[in-house]
């Protein structure tokens, strides 16, 4: 199978990358596209364990509100989680680990 990627590089510009006679799964095709796209954009793709790419980040006031409610054990809004950047994800993950350790100690 021949695979051809069209990757936007500007408003009216694109790069074309073609791989002739390639045998890849659909997932491999999509992942290759993402990597190529990010290479042209000068970005490194970072995904969390759910396969989500980081968002632009929550503003400080909103993030503090989310932290406070999450620390109390309240559920987090998935939209807020999707908007978080990598650093904010790391904070949430450390709180989750801490909560799990505390549950184990209290048993």
Domain regions of the chain by residue span: 3-41, 60-105
Q: How far apart are the first and last CA of the chain?
A: 56
The Cα diameter of the chain in Å comes to 61
Rounded to two decimals, the pTM is 0.53
Helical spans, DSSP H, in 42-105: 60-71, 78-83, 86-105
Rounded to whole angstroms, how far apart are CA atoms 68 and 91?
12
3-state helix, strand, coil split of the chain in percent (to 5) is: 50, 15, 35
> Could you list the pLDDT tens digit for every one of the 107 residues in the chain?
778 888 877 767 777 888 877 788 888 888 888 888 777 776 545 666 677 778 888 999 999 999 999 888 888 888 898 898 888 888 988 888 888 887 877 76
């Amino acid at each position: 199978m021949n695979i051809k990627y069209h990757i936007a590089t500007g408003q009216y510009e694109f790069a074309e990358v073609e791989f002739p006679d390639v045998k890849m799964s659909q997932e491999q095709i999509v992942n290759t596209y993402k990597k190529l796209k990010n290479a042209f954009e000068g970005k490194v793709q970072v995904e969390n364990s759910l396969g989500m790419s980081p968002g632009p980040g929550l503003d400080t006031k909103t993030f503090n509100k989310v932290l406070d409610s999450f620390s109390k054990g309240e559920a987090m809004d998935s939209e807020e989680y999707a908007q978080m950047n990598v650093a904010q994800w790391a904070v949430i993950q450390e709180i989750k680990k801490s909560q799990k350790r505390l549950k184990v100690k209290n048993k």
